[in-house]
Chains A and B, each alone.
Chain A
Amino acid sequence: MVEDTKPDVTKEIPKIDLSDSIREFADQNSDYYVECLTEIQATGEKVTPWNNAAMLFGPAWCAARGLWNMFWLFTVAELVALVQLGRGIWGDLGAEKMSEATQLRERAHELRLEAGVAGVTGDETAESSAEIATNLEKAADIAMMEAVAAAETWWIYLLAGIVLFVVLRYVLGRYANRLYELQYAAWRLNRNTPNGFNMQRLIYALALLAVLVPLTLYRFTVSNPAPWLTDVPIGNSYFTTSSNVLDSWFDRTAELGAGVFDGVTAGAQTVLDVMELFLVDAPWPVVAVFLVLIAWRVASIRVAIFTAASLTYIGFLGLWEASMVSIVLVGAAAFFCVIIGIPLGIWFSRSERAYAIARPVLDLMQTIPPFVYLIPIIAFFGTGRVPGILATIIFAMPPVVRLTALGLRQVPSNVVEAAVAFGATKWRILIGVELPLATPAIMTGVNQTILMSLSMVVIASLIGAKGLGQEVLTALQYVAKGQGILAGLAILFCAMMLDRIVQGRFQRQEDQ
């Protein structure tokens, strides 16, 4: 019969029995926890049975049961409560005002003595001294009264401490089993999750509490705690020694590596000179027409119009030469970033280990404040445009490296496999398949690099790179608001111009 083989849907779905697994999880006092957790699960997590152990022992219970997050949370919260309690019971609440009053009184006493001496010698300051002394005594009296009033507020602290403590323990007793149920779910997924009742954990927790609680209470409730508690009892001798060692190391490196540093400077200088010849030394109408034409040919008519408008702004405000110097600076920096960054990116896309080592370095280059590396750069390369470019490279290169590596990693492996299957060499695959497919990512990196280079223009001018950055810097020094804004806008236009021209070529390919 067909009907017999049909599953009986009206029959109840069999219940799974978790009690054995909960028992294994809870270890000690397991019957209680089986009951609690089963109830929580059965009621759809709406009913949570009260947990006496958690309420009584607080953080210690959390630690013993392996709920470390809760242990820390409640330890800190209970410390706050205990500090209030301690202040209320034995803290010297008026101490601060009292010492202020004593000081004022002493000063007043001194002034009175001076006034007395002055009165004897017939000095005209006597009168004013006496008057100040009177005022001080009045102030001292007020402070005294405030101290007494503060001392009388002890019960507020006491009450606050008690209420907070009770609330905390209530919360723990109320929700401990709920948290424990979550811990159980986590333990089912990952057996390394702390489970059971563990004596070792409890001892650790008690040792921690034994150190933390007394020290904290002492620091906050005693009016003049021992100085070794408030300040780390170590002078600045380590700092001085270390910085001296570093100083001498930098000096020595600068001396030893002078050849290398000069070589780098000369190389960068050559690139800068060539670019400067075209953009700064050439007659401005030639440069302007050249830039607009490039924008038009490489990108689009819209970019050409935008370029023309930006150049007009720059020209009319007399920032032409400064702008061109900045564009040269940024162009050179971006050039070096791409020349160095893309090969590095290729390398990092191939070697997982190299990338693992390089990643923190790239993070460092992006996050460390530029002023920090400006100092050694000055030590090695002096001041001027070249160190400005080097600082810019440090800041602006990471995006190109990262996005090149990312782009290459994202090239579909089946396309690469096809190229291999047709007998292509690794080099051919890189040039003919991988780099073209990674171009969108690489171009995003180049775009980031250009924009970040321009944001470094102002900082580079601190170490003697001229251009728009210097305009902004002088504006800053003389608080010349107008000058700053006009030069800043010029930086923005330069950035957009460069970016649109570089992206334009690629964007056109995409549109096809």
Chain B
Amino acid sequence: MKHEEREVVIELKNAWKIFGEQADQAMQAVKSEGIGKAEVLDKYGAVVGIADCSFNVRRGEIFCIMGLSGSGKSTLVRHVNRLIEPTSGEIYLLGEDVMKLSTTALREMRAKRIGMVFQHMALLPHRSVRDNVAYPLEIRGESKSRRWDVSQHSLSLVGLDGFEDRFPRELSGGMQQRVGLARALASDPDVLLMDEPFSALDPLIRRQLQDQFMALSEQLHKTTLFITHDLDEAIRLGTRIAIMKDGRIVQIGTPEEIVTNPADDYVRDFVQNISKLKLVFAHTIQVPINEYKPQEGDDLSRSPRVSQDVDLDYLIDVAVKTNQPTVTTDDDGKDVGVVSKDRLLQGIRDGK
């Protein structure tokens, strides 16, 4: 099933968060007069954390929110489970209006529906690894034997068998973060909120954990909201990506859309150095076959044929083995376009 057809699990509508004593007045002024961030700070001494953010995440998606530090991405993710109360806006989780939940119902939802992983692990130092993983279940009042069973299973999912009777401080950073992931998975939640989980780790370990997380995600089909400041990570993991700047969402799209079609200069700056080989597909750069002007020595009948859905990486492999331009075909095997070597080089550089 395509993602677009699945049910919406997380939905934010026009969420605003303004920090400060006069946040409500500032909010009203923003709505009625449309004043900007600087004026809010100037007039009300309040800081705009997130501004008019809307998005939805469908079941099974990994939705990445990418932005630099201070862009409001961590604030945004905390709205989903109301660790931070929005100043204005609507939040729905699994079809329920999160803002209307009573304290008890909210706690219930946090305990059963949402698992969260934090940048600095936030493990309980005085509890064993097992008891850390079992903590969400303990909160839910599960029996001890069930807690032990589930935490054991959860730890084996992240590959930490045999470490259950250690203390967190005895583990390396990468292992601690895997404990954090196991803890989030322990309550078998529908939604995973991951707040820069791999940012504090060194690149090699980060890569390993990303792979492990992708494999797990495939296996468990969790809907994930993933916060990161690293565009490479967002592109590797994300089904879709939202790019944030100064509390606003600048662009939402699939990795390909973001890379090939940046919404503004800010996003363009980001994607400039991203390798496009795996993100850009033949259909984006091909010239329609009826518009193609053959060069000297071209003979399209001798050209190799590939599906128009292959990526540039694959196109390069094909192109180096021939001196003819590559012809692309649609699902029925009909010729639809041509990618000359010039066009391919341009595509590698610009993504279009």
Residues on A lying within 8 angstroms of B by beta carbon are: 412, 414-415, 417-425, 428, 432-433, 436-437, 439, 512
Asked if B126 is an interface residue, CB under 8 A from chain A, the answer is yes
Asked if residues B122 and A418 are in contact (CB atoms below 8 Å), the reply is yes
- Chain-A contact segment, one of B14-22, B30-38, B44-52, B106-114: B106-114
* Chain B residue at smallest Cβ distance from A416: B122
Asked if B255 is an interface residue, CB under 8 A from chain A, the answer is no
CB within 8 A of A424: which of B112, B126, B139? B139
Asked if residues B118 and A417 are in contact (CB atoms below 8 Å), the reply is yes
Residues on B lying within 8 angstroms of A by beta carbon are: 81, 83, 106-112, 114, 116, 118, 120, 122-126, 135-136, 139-140, 167, 183, 187, 193
Query: Least Cβ distance of A154 to chain B in Å?
Result: 67
Query: Least Cβ distance of B195 to chain A in Å?
Result: 10
Query: Least Cβ distance of B173 to chain A in Å?
Result: 15
In the complex, what residues of B have CB within 8 A of residue A437's CB? 124-126
Query: Least Cβ distance of B167 to chain A in Å?
Result: 8
Q: Which of B106, B136, B167 has the most CB of A within 10 A?
A: B136
Asked if residues B140 and A423 are in contact (CB atoms below 8 Å), the reply is yes
Query: Least Cβ distance of A443 to chain B in Å?
Result: 13
The answer to whether residues A417 and B111 also contact, given A422-B116, A423-B136, A436-B126 and a CB cut-off of 8 A, is no
In the complex, what residues of B have CB within 8 A of residue A414's CB? 118, 120, 122
* Chain A residue at smallest Cβ distance from B136: A422
In the complex, what residues of A have CB within 8 A of residue B120's CB? 414
Query: Least Cβ distance of A440 to chain B in Å?
Result: 11
Closest 8 CB pairs of A and B: A423-B111, A423-B110, A418-B122, A421-B116, A422-B136, A423-B107, A414-B122, A436-B126
Cβ contacts A to B, 5 pairs, < 8 Å: A415-B125, A418-B123, A421-B110, A421-B114, A437-B124
In the complex, what residues of B have CB within 8 A of residue A418's CB? 116, 118, 122-123
Query: Least Cβ distance of B40 to chain A in Å?
Result: 25
Asked if residues A423 and B125 are in contact (CB atoms below 8 Å), the reply is no
In the complex, what residues of A have CB within 8 A of residue B139's CB? 422-424, 428
Query: Least Cβ distance of A500 to chain B in Å?
Result: 23
In the complex, what residues of A have CB within 8 A of residue B112's CB? 423
The answer to whether residues A415 and B111 also contact, given A423-B136, A424-B139 and a CB cut-off of 8 A, is no
Q: Which of B109, B111, B112 has the most CB of A within 10 A?
A: B111
Query: Least Cβ distance of B55 to chain A in Å?
Result: 20
In the complex, what residues of B have CB within 8 A of residue A428's CB? 139
Query: Least Cβ distance of A169 to chain B in Å?
Result: 49
Query: Least Cβ distance of B227 to chain A in Å?
Result: 14
In the complex, what residues of A have CB within 8 A of residue B167's CB? 512
Asked if residues A425 and B107 are in contact (CB atoms below 8 Å), the reply is yes
Query: Least Cβ distance of A294 to chain B in Å?
Result: 24
Asked if residues B124 and A422 are in contact (CB atoms below 8 Å), the reply is no
* Chain A residue at smallest Cβ distance from B106: A423
Q: Which of A418, A424, A436 has the most CB of B within 10 A?
A: A418
How far is it, in angstroms, between the C-alpha of A420 and the C-alpha of B78 when the chains are bound?
A: 11
In the complex, what residues of B have CB within 8 A of residue A433's CB? 124
In the complex, what residues of A have CB within 8 A of residue B123's CB? 415, 418
How far is it, in angstroms, between the C-alpha of A385 and the C-alpha of B288 when the chains are bound?
A: 102
How far is it, in angstroms, between the C-alpha of A439 and the C-alpha of B126 when the chains are bound?
A: 10
The answer to whether residues A423 and B83 also contact, given A414-B120, A417-B122 and a CB cut-off of 8 A, is no
* Chain A residue at smallest Cβ distance from B135: A422
Query: Least Cβ distance of B98 to chain A in Å?
Result: 13
The answer to whether residues A421 and B107 also contact, given A414-B118, A414-B122, A437-B126 and a CB cut-off of 8 A, is no
How far is it, in angstroms, between the C-alpha of A418 and the C-alpha of B197 when the chains are bound?
A: 13
In the complex, what residues of B have CB within 8 A of residue A512's CB? 167
In the complex, what residues of B have CB within 8 A of residue A424's CB? 107, 139
CB within 8 A of B81: which of A419, A421, A436? A421
How far is it, in angstroms, between the C-alpha of A422 and the C-alpha of B114 when the chains are bound?
A: 8
In the complex, what residues of B have CB within 8 A of residue A439's CB? 126
How far is it, in angstroms, between the C-alpha of A422 and the C-alpha of B127 when the chains are bound?
A: 16
How far is it, in angstroms, between the C-alpha of A417 and the C-alpha of B74 when the chains are bound?
A: 13
The answer to whether residues A420 and B83 also contact, given A414-B118, A414-B120, A428-B139 and a CB cut-off of 8 A, is yes
Query: Least Cβ distance of B96 to chain A in Å?
Result: 15
In the complex, what residues of B have CB within 8 A of residue A412's CB? 122
How far is it, in angstroms, between the C-alpha of A417 and the C-alpha of B195 when the chains are bound?
A: 12
In the complex, what residues of A have CB within 8 A of residue B83's CB? 417, 420-421
How far is it, in angstroms, between the C-alpha of A423 and the C-alpha of B125 when the chains are bound?
A: 19
Query: Least Cβ distance of A148 to chain B in Å?
Result: 76
* Chain A residue at smallest Cβ distance from B119: A414
CB within 8 A of B187: which of A415, A422, A432, A436? A422
In the complex, what residues of A have CB within 8 A of residue B140's CB? 423
Asked if residues B108 and A415 are in contact (CB atoms below 8 Å), the reply is no
In the complex, what residues of A have CB within 8 A of residue B126's CB? 436-437, 439
How far is it, in angstroms, between the C-alpha of A428 and the C-alpha of B137 when the chains are bound?
A: 13
How far is it, in angstroms, between the C-alpha of A300 and the C-alpha of B76 when the chains are bound?
A: 51
Query: Least Cβ distance of A421 to chain B in Å?
Result: 4
* Chain A residue at smallest Cβ distance from B110: A423
* Chain A residue at smallest Cβ distance from B114: A421
In the complex, what residues of B have CB within 8 A of residue A423's CB? 106-112, 136, 139-140
